[in-house]
Every structure is written in structure tokens, then in C-alpha cells.
Amino acid sequence: MVLPKYDLHCHSTASDGVLSPVELVARAAEQGVEVLAITDHDSIGAIAQAQAPAQAANIRLLPGVELTACWGSRVVHLVGLGFDPAAPSLQRYLDELTVLRLDRAQRIAKKLMGRRLPDLLPAVLELAGDGQVGRPHFAMALVAAGVCETEQQAFKNYLGTGKVGDVKMDWPAMSEALALLHGIGGLGILAHPTKYRLTFSRLRSLLTDFVNAGGDGVEVSYAGIKPEHQRELQKIARKMDLMVSAGSDFHQPGRPWVELGRFLPLDTECRHVLTSLL
């Protein structure tokens, strides 16, 4: 099967992306993308808005989401694809995550105030708008308040692992997120496996647990992955009989190395997730 040009991982203003769902679809069309999944963090808010413009631009829109989950004490991201976006169980699941995320935002704001910083919560909620609130919104607010010069610096000094704003949360277990996706007819894909700062042997145990929990596929091509890591992941995917997926993880314009539809080509011997979605 010759695959169309696609992108199965990107973000809109329904989470921490900069472009609205409509703008994101327009950009995808400019880039020649024919199949698109908008995968916002714990939100499917973009799907309804993107539907009509996608149809007008001849883009096949696949239902997508990026679920935050835990694997032991680690936080991992699961891309859900091809599910029924109207399923009530999905809405309940995401509503619970909205409450958890708001609670975390309040706790982060308080912790930062404990460091004599201004109360950033109003600005953070304004930035998040109707979308799911996350740490990137705190990074933007820290820059806007003049506390940090860049968002990277905000993560380095205040929000990253072990810093004051690194407030732990009880995310649903990876197995729970996978069960939800399967219950609504979707596929569960482990997102950007090399971004969890795991050694490859730890990554193999993550993938083993993922397969045992019913995981369907793994992303093996995305912005920033090294070619040797992609090769290694494809080898593991073949061995574990996992499908492979790819997406830019696009969040904002102005970073040409993270463009919609642009990532390393995949090994044709691997079973592509699109073959079971199209």
C-alpha cells in the first residue's frame, strides 16, 4: 500500500499548540498533508472544529488524542487514533483529566508564589483558554511576566523535573489509557519513546509492558529522533509485532525542523498503523 502524505501527531490550541484547529488544518494543507490526526494533550476539542476545513481541503481527518499516563513512577504519552470521538466513556475520562490538570495548575501557581513570584494562575488560565492547561502555559506566563527570557529557561529553572513547579500528579495507568482507547474502537500508540530519557534496555521493558497491556503501535519517526534510534526502534517493533507510526509533534510555526508531515521515512518492512486506519 502506497501511503499518502500524513501526520499522526500534532497540537492545536485545544492543548499547548499555538495554532487554532482551523489554522492547523490550513498549514497541513500548505504542506501537502493528506491524512491528519490532531492529537492534543488529553483533549479532543480540536476535532469538531477541524472537520469542515479538513473536508474542504481534501484532508482525511482521523480522530486523535495524546493521553498522559503513568508507567510506574514515569509519565508516558499515548497517542490514541481512530476511536469514536463521541463515546461517553471518553468524555468522562477527559473530564476527569481536566479536573486533575486544573488542580495541578493551582498547586504549581502556589508553589511558584512560595518563591516570591507573582500569582501566575490567572494568566495561565487565560493562555490555556478552552484547552487543557499544562506546564507549557506556565512557561509562557513566566516569559510574559518577565521572570524568564525563554520558555526553555522557565522549564530549566522552575518547571522541569525536580524543580519547584514539578508537581507530581496521579495520571491514569498506561493500561487504563489503553483499555479506554480499545473500548472506543481506537488504537493506542506509544508516543516519542526516546523522549523519556530511558536507556534502551529500560525502553524495552516499557515496550514489553505496553505490549502486555494491549498496546498497538509505537512512534518511530518524529522531530529530533536520531536515525540510529529510529532503526533500533523499528527492529524492536518488528520483533514485538508492534505497528509503527510517525508524526511531527508540531506545536508552533517558526521551527522548520518540526514541520507538519516532515519526518524521517519509515522502514517499509514494518507494519504501518495507517494500514489498519485507512
Enumerate the H helices of the chain as residue ranges: 21-30, 45-56, 88-113, 121-128, 135-144, 151-154, 174-183, 200-212, 227-239
User: Considering beta carbons, is residue 42 or 249 the nearer one to Zn ion?
Assistant: 249
Rounded distance between C-alpha atoms, residue 278 and residue 274, angstroms = 6
User: Considering beta carbons, is residue 77 or 101 the nearer one to Zn ion?
Assistant: 77
Amino acid residing at 119: D
User: Considering beta carbons, is residue 70 or 123 the nearer one to Zn ion?
Assistant: 70
At its nearest, how many Å lie between Zn ion and the CB of residue 261? 15
User: Considering beta carbons, is residue 182 or 251 the nearer one to Zn ion?
Assistant: 251
At its nearest, how many Å lie between Zn ion and the CB of residue 235? 23
At its nearest, how many Å lie between Zn ion and the CB of residue 212? 22
The count of residues in the chain is 278
At its nearest, how many Å lie between Zn ion and the CB of residue 77? 4
User: Considering beta carbons, is residue 135 or 272 the nearer one to Zn ion?
Assistant: 135
Residue closest to Zn ion, measured at CB: 77
At its nearest, how many Å lie between Zn ion and the CB of residue 11? 6
Q: Which three cell numbers stand for residue 240?
A: 514485538
Reference 39, options 260, 265, 264; nearest CA is 260
What is the Cα 11 distance to its own chain's centre? 7
Rounded distance between C-alpha atoms, residue 275 and residue 278, angstroms = 6
Q: Which three cell numbers stand for residue 166?
A: 514539578
Q: How many CB atoms lie within 10 A of CB 262?
A: 16
State the residues that interact with Zn ion by CB under 5 A. 66, 77, 191, 249
Q: For cell 483533549, name the residue.
A: 43
